[in-house]
Structure 1
Amino acid sequence: MSPRTLFGPYGRLFTVPGAVWFSLAGWVARLPLPMLGLGAVLLVEGESGSYGLAGAVSGTLALAAAVGGPQWARAMDRRGQGRVLQAAMAAYLATGLAFVGVVVADGPRWAWFALAGLTGASLPNIGALVRARWAAALEDAERRQTAFAFESVVDEVVFVVGPPLVTVLGTMVAPAAGFTTGIVLGTVGGLWLARQRATEPTATPAPSAGGRHRPAALNAAVLLVCATYLGVGTVFGAMDVVVVGFAEEQGAPALAGLALALYAGGSLVAGLAYGVARLRGTLATRFLATAVFFGLAAQGLWAVASLPLLVGAGFLAGLAVAPVLVSGTSLAESRVPRAALTEALAWTNTGLTLGVTAGSALAGAAVDAWGARAAFAVPALAAAVAAALALVGAPLLRRPALEPVAA
């Protein structure tokens, strides 16, 4: 595939009025995603000396964000992104800075958890907001697939840039610097996106009382994507922990970053290619096929016995990541009305977030108990479970493409 063939469709996306600016604002607003969790660990450990406390506080923030994101998205579907996003960013900035203040001042521990939870709950799922704008701007399903693939690549870039940035700030400047930078960047990007009213999806007021309605989260296809993404996220969280542990066991901890970068690089390459591919079959078929490919590709991790094998197996596993994420997003987008789209996409990201949290915990316990090499069983099995969930839930996808879902 030539560069012109690969990148041409992506360039044409940005002929859409306002697309350059809402996508760029969304990228800035998403930078805190990998920065806040690691930043909270560096901040809390730096002030308390306890990694256990740091992990618990960071986990509280992540879980609150996973629950709060879809609630903000539901409000935006009803009242518009701009108005709600401004309120969310104000709460996010206030609670985030208050969290930093109470930790630095060595305030009561319960306040650390409370403010971490409030900070996480105040952060909307920016990726869902940007994808909803693309869906509103593009009528053609193939172009929406390309746009979703581009946003998947943006997510990869965020997770490549964010962790090194927050680590440098938190270790070389001050423990609070990384987390605070994430708060500021998220607020700037979020408010920038909120100001772009011309490209936000049309809001749909809540239905009148008295009727029976189901929220987007109960749509069968969305639930299946969420469940599958839970397994996918578990792989993500586990890989971060196991790769670092394995590199340390091999006496080359610096190579952990290279291995993880190639894992992300495989996903980036596959995402770009998948976004412009013209594939046969329904969206449901594509989702099932990519989920099975994801499950099979990760089984190479069982064979990891050296760093070169890790690099190869990691890159292969990475090739399967973006396709399953893009196909799942496309499937969820096709099964809900526009009035519930932002919430539906936010719930799929919640599945990923919960999986990452679970994967990190499971992999950490496995490394301690079995050693890092044996702990590759965690991401390998999680990938297999993700594929199995997609296959078991396949009958749910035989329903009509658009089920009645409340706004």
Structure 2
Amino acid sequence: DDFGVGSVSIKTVFSYEGVIDDVAFMIGPAASVALAASIAPAAGLAFGGACYLLGCALLLSSRSTEPAEGWADGGQAAQPAAGAERPASLFVACPQVRVLFFLMLFLGALYGVLDTSTVTFAQELGFPIIASISLVLQASISVMSGMVFGAMRPRASLLRQFVAVCCLIGTAYCGLFLVRGVASFFVVVCAAALFYAPFLITLNTVCEASVPGARLTEGITWINAGMTFGLAVGPTVAGVFVDMYGSIAGLNTAAVFALMIPLTALACAGIVRRALP
């Protein structure tokens, strides 16, 4: 099928992508730990690098799945006219992309802080295995929620879905403020994991509806860059707070980033509304 503006199957595609991501999060850490423990500490890192290279090779060799040039314009390549200026970056030209970028940044920072804090939290409790169990449980829950959400056809408008998933995931992870032990930790992260895949799917769908079809890849790249930037910033921030105040301070920092998601979505709902049908 062709995908782009108005496609009814783009949501399903994003759902499959989210599910595959979560499966990788389930298998990757377990395989890495097993290799590092049974062979050598560097074996886990080498395994990750090999998977990365294999994935790149498979992607680059998949010529049959790449869109034809000008697919979004009825076969006419979306090129600027002779002498015309190059279009501005979507981050500059499209306020909706900026909103999505920062939402993904907050989510990435949240997970970066949470991962670092979880390891320290588990070590402080004397049960390092908690960190691995937590990751596998969250990924498993997210896989199931992604499959269910991808199969749904909600009657609510895309704007309402956008605001709802932002409020749900942010509010759920704000429960990290209340974590004081293993039980409360697992309740919070497992409940919040229900909304991870719907959040990603909905934001990708909003991006698809907000940008020209010929520039969808650029739009998706920008919001993924927000996630990557957040994942880079999060552990740095977490390291400082965890070293100074302990793992609970790190979990509280993750909750602050979580709170920023619904606040940003509610404050910028009007901006997002202007781009939606």
* TM bin (shorter chain): 0.7 to 0.9
Note the C-alpha offset of 1:292: 0.9
Q: Which residue in the other structure is 1:118 paired with?
A: none
The percentage of aligned residue pairs carrying the same residue is: 31
Rounded to whole Å, the distance in 2 between the matches of 1:180 and 1:245 is 24
Q: Which residue in the other structure is 1:153 paired with?
A: 19
How many aligned positions are there?
268
Q: Which residue in the other structure is 2:74 paired with?
A: none
Rounded to whole Å, the distance in 2 between the matches of 1:235 and 1:182 is 23
Note the C-alpha offset of 1:264: 2.3
- Residue 348 of structure 1, aligned match among 200, 223, 227: 223
CA contact (8 A) 2:25 2:136 kept: no
Q: Does 1:289 find its partner at 2:164?
A: yes
CA contact (8 A) 1:217 1:343 kept: no
Q: Does 1:211 find its partner at 2:85?
A: yes
Q: Which residue in the other structure is 1:135 paired with?
A: 3
CA contact (8 A) 2:158 2:276 kept: no
CA contact (8 A) 2:101 2:222 kept: yes
Cα–Cα, structure 1 residues 205 and 171, in superposed 2: closer, same or farther, change >3 Å? farther
Unaligned ranges ≥5, structure 2: 70-76
Higher RCO, Cα 8 Å, sep 6+: 2
- Residue 155 of structure 2, aligned match among 256, 270, 280: 280
Unaligned ranges ≥5, structure 1: 1-15, 17-133, 403-407
Q: Does 1:362 find its partner at 2:237?
A: yes
Note the C-alpha offset of 1:229: 0.7
Rounded to whole Å, the distance in 2 between the matches of 1:191 and 1:145 is 26
Q: Which residue in the other structure is 2:136 paired with?
A: 261
- 1:249 maps to amino acid: E
Q: Which residue in the other structure is 1:250 paired with?
A: 125
Q: Deviations over 1:115-152 (max 9, x none)?
A: xxxxxxxxxxxxxxxxxxx735x9642x3212211211
- 2:80 maps to amino acid: P
CA contact (8 A) 2:96 2:275 kept: no
Q: Deviations over 1:63-121 (max 9, x none)?
A: xxxxxxxxxxxxxxxxxxxxxxxxxxxxxxxxxxxxxxxxxxxxxxxxxxxxxxxxxxx
Rounded to whole Å, the distance in 1 between the matches of 2:200 and 2:63 is 28
Rounded to whole Å, the distance in 2 between the matches of 1:205 and 1:188 is 32
- 2:125 maps to amino acid: Q
Matches within 5 A, 1:301-316: 301-316=176-191
Rounded to whole Å, the distance in 2 between the matches of 1:319 and 1:172 is 33
What is the DSSP-based 3-state SS (H/G/I as helix, E as strand, rest coil) of the residue aligned with 2:3?
helix
Note the C-alpha offset of 1:175: 5.4
Q: Which residue in the other structure is 2:214 paired with?
A: 339
- 1:189 maps to amino acid: G
- 1:393 maps to amino acid: C
Rounded to whole Å, the distance in 2 between the matches of 1:182 and 1:243 is 21
Q: CA RMSD in A?
A: 2.3
What is the DSSP-based 3-state SS (H/G/I as helix, E as strand, rest coil) of the residue aligned with 1:201?
coil
Matches within 5 A, 1:372-383: 372-383=247-258
Matches within 5 A, 1:162-201: 162-170=28-36, 172-174=38-40, 176-201=42-67
Note the C-alpha offset of 1:186: 2.9
Rounded to whole Å, the distance in 1 between the matches of 2:130 and 2:41 is 25
Note the C-alpha offset of 1:337: 2.1
Q: Which residue in the other structure is 1:44 paired with?
A: none
Rounded to whole Å, the distance in 2 between the matches of 1:152 and 1:344 is 17
Cα–Cα, structure 1 residues 398 and 169, in superposed 2: closer, same or farther, change >3 Å? same
Rounded to whole Å, the distance in 1 between the matches of 2:177 and 2:160 is 28
Note the C-alpha offset of 1:283: 1.9
Q: Does 1:299 find its partner at 2:174?
A: yes
Matches within 5 A, 1:394-405: 394-401=269-276
Give TM-score, length-normalised by structure 1: 0.61
Cα–Cα, structure 1 residues 331 and 175, in superposed 2: closer, same or farther, change >3 Å? same
Rounded to whole Å, the distance in 1 between the matches of 2:112 and 2:46 is 23
Cα–Cα, structure 1 residues 244 and 212, in superposed 2: closer, same or farther, change >3 Å? closer
Q: Which residue in the other structure is 2:102 paired with?
A: 227
CA contact (8 A) 1:156 1:268 kept: yes
Note the C-alpha offset of 1:179: 4.1
Rounded to whole Å, the distance in 1 between the matches of 2:61 and 2:142 is 32
What is the DSSP-based 3-state SS (H/G/I as helix, E as strand, rest coil) of the residue aligned with 1:376?
helix
Note the C-alpha offset of 1:181: 3.8
Rounded to whole Å, the distance in 2 between the matches of 1:348 and 1:237 is 16
Give TM-score, length-normalised by structure 2: 0.87
Q: Deviations over 1:200-235 (max 9, x none)?
A: 122345424423622233322111111101111111
- 1:207 maps to amino acid: P
Cα–Cα, structure 1 residues 364 and 155, in superposed 2: closer, same or farther, change >3 Å? same
